[in-house]
């Protein structure tokens, strides 16, 4: 039986309509994601600033290093990243002898140095572990830092908790545990201030006397140029064993990429918490340097 011509034409027209509908639906579906994406607003400047503020890998120009001179700062490390630090404290006393005598020994450099090296790593978010060895009594210091509170718009300071233990003769005797905090305040991109109360047990270990020392380190850093700084600290003892004068240090610093170089002037060879707690000798000033290298 033959299908009438009108019916065949109807079927053809219906087929064309269905095909046109399917093509239109496909076009709309293909365009929807891009339209949705276009409609999604870009992150605001405030959101971008907050994200950068929370990123430990973003440099804060006012806080470029993990120490002031010897005292710790509240600078964070990105998770699983590291930092290497090398310290030298030359033995020549800059307060002894004439200028020509000082120049003849290259301002104490010819008289040897107390050398230390450190490697620290962020083992978790806001948690750092560090190994430091000083040639002074072959001292090894193991310590951790937890960056508990970070300065933000609603928080005026950063607070980091410290715990440490050090031992002489390559960590075989005269152990001196320490606990403390770092309270820091950054002002813009130019200035950082630090208050560092630390309690050190067995700070008189070199005398074989069981004594403790509590000190409150005060330090600051000023950025005087794009990447040039001046830093200073003083470590008064407020309780316990406190021989000699309070330890202090001043440094002139230059940041170059991931490197930080500090030319230091201190009244002590001490660089660990217990060594700093013992103070510095009167009428002394020693040339030295810190060299840091970030691996991130």
Q: Which phi and psi angles does 263 have, rounded to 5°?
A: -90, 115
Nearest CA to 92 out of 261, 265, 276, 243 is that of 265
Do 190 and 210 fall within a single domain? yes
Do 34 and 79 fall within a single domain? no
Establish if 45 belongs to a structural domain: no
CA 142 to chain centre: 16
Q: What is the CA radius of gyration of the chain?
A: 31
| Partners of 165 in the β-ladder | 142, 177
CA 130 to chain centre: 12
Do 120 and 259 fall within a single domain? yes
Supply the pLDDT for residue 20: 45
- 171 HSE (CA, 13 A, CB side): 11
Supply the pLDDT for residue 225: 87
Nearest CA to 74 out of 172, 174, 148 is that of 148
Establish if 174 belongs to a structural domain: yes
Establish if 178 belongs to a structural domain: yes
Do 152 and 252 fall within a single domain? yes
Establish if 274 belongs to a structural domain: yes
Supply 97's token pair: 């002898």
Q: How many Å apart are CA 10 and CA 183, to the nearest integer?
A: 85
Supply the pLDDT for residue 6: 44
Do 137 and 218 fall within a single domain? yes
Do 20 and 115 fall within a single domain? no
Establish if 46 belongs to a structural domain: no
Do 24 and 134 fall within a single domain? no
Map tokens 């072959």 to a residue: 138
Stated as kind and residue range, the H or E segment containing 288 is: strand 286-295
Q: Give all strands (DSSP E) within 139-278, no chain letters.
A: 139-149, 158-167, 173-187, 191-201, 212-223, 228-235, 237-240, 247-256, 259-266
Establish if 227 belongs to a structural domain: yes
Q: How many Å apart are CA 178 and CA 173, to the nearest integer?
A: 16
Tell me the pLDDT of the chain (296 aa) as tens digits.
Answer: 444 544 455 455 445 444 544 444 444 444 444 443 444 555 665 455 555 557 899 999 999 999 999 999 999 999 999 999 999 999 999 999 999 999 999 999 999 999 999 999 999 999 999 999 999 999 999 999 999 999 998 899 999 999 999 999 999 999 999 999 999 999 999 999 999 999 999 999 888 889 999 999 999 999 998 999 999 999 999 999 999 999 999 999 999 999 999 999 999 999 999 999 999 999 999 999 999 999 99
Number of domains observed in the structure of the chain: 2
Supply 45's token pair: 């400047």
Do 62 and 10 fall within a single domain? no
Do 11 and 121 fall within a single domain? no
Establish if 199 belongs to a structural domain: yes
Q: What is the CATH number of the domain that holds 56?
A: 2.40.160.40
Do 101 and 195 fall within a single domain? yes
Q: How many Å apart are CA 214 and CA 198, to the nearest integer?
A: 6
Domain that holds residue 121: 51-295
Do 157 and 242 fall within a single domain? yes
Do 150 and 211 fall within a single domain? yes
Map tokens 């020509």 to a residue: 100
**DSSP secondary structure letters along 33-63:** HHHHHHHSPPPPHHHHHHHHHH-TTS-BTTB
């Amino acid at each position: 039986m033959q299908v009438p011509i009108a019916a065949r034409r109807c079927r053809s027209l219906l087929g064309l309509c269905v095909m046109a509908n399917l093509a239109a639906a496909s076009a709309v579906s293909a365009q929807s994601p891009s339209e949705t994406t276009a409609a999604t607003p870009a992150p605001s400047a405030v959101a971008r600033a907050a994200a950068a503020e929370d990123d430990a890998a973003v440099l804060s120009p006012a806080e470029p290093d993990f120490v002031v001179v010897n005292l710790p700062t509240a600078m964070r490390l990105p998770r699983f990243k590291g930092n290497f630090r090398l310290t030298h404290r030359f033995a020549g006393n800059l307060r002894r002898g004439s200028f020509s005598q000082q120049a003849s020994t290259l301002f104490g450099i010819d008289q040897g140095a107390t050398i230390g090296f450190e490697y620290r790593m962020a083992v978790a978010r806001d948690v750092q572990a560090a190994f430091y060895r000083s040639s002074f009594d072959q001292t090894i210091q193991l310590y951790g830092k937890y960056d508990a509170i970070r300065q933000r718009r609603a928080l005026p300071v950063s607070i980091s908790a410290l715990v440490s233990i050090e031992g002489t003769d390559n960590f075989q005797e005269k152990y001196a545990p320490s606990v403390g905090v770092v309270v820091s305040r950054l002002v813009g991109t130019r200035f950082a201030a630090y208050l560092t109360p630390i309690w050190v047990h067995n700070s008189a270990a070199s005398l074989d006397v069981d004594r403790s020392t509590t000190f409150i380190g005060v330090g600051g850093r000023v950025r005087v140029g794009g990447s040039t700084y001046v830093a200073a600290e003083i470590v008064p003892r407020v309780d316990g064993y406190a021989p000699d004068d309070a330890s202090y240090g001043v440094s002139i610093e230059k940041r170059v990429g991931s490197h930080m170089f500090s030319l230091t002037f201190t009244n002590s060879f001490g660089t660990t918490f217990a060594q700093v707690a013992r103070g510095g000798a009167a009428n002394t000033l020693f040339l030295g340097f810190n060299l840091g290298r970030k691996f991130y």
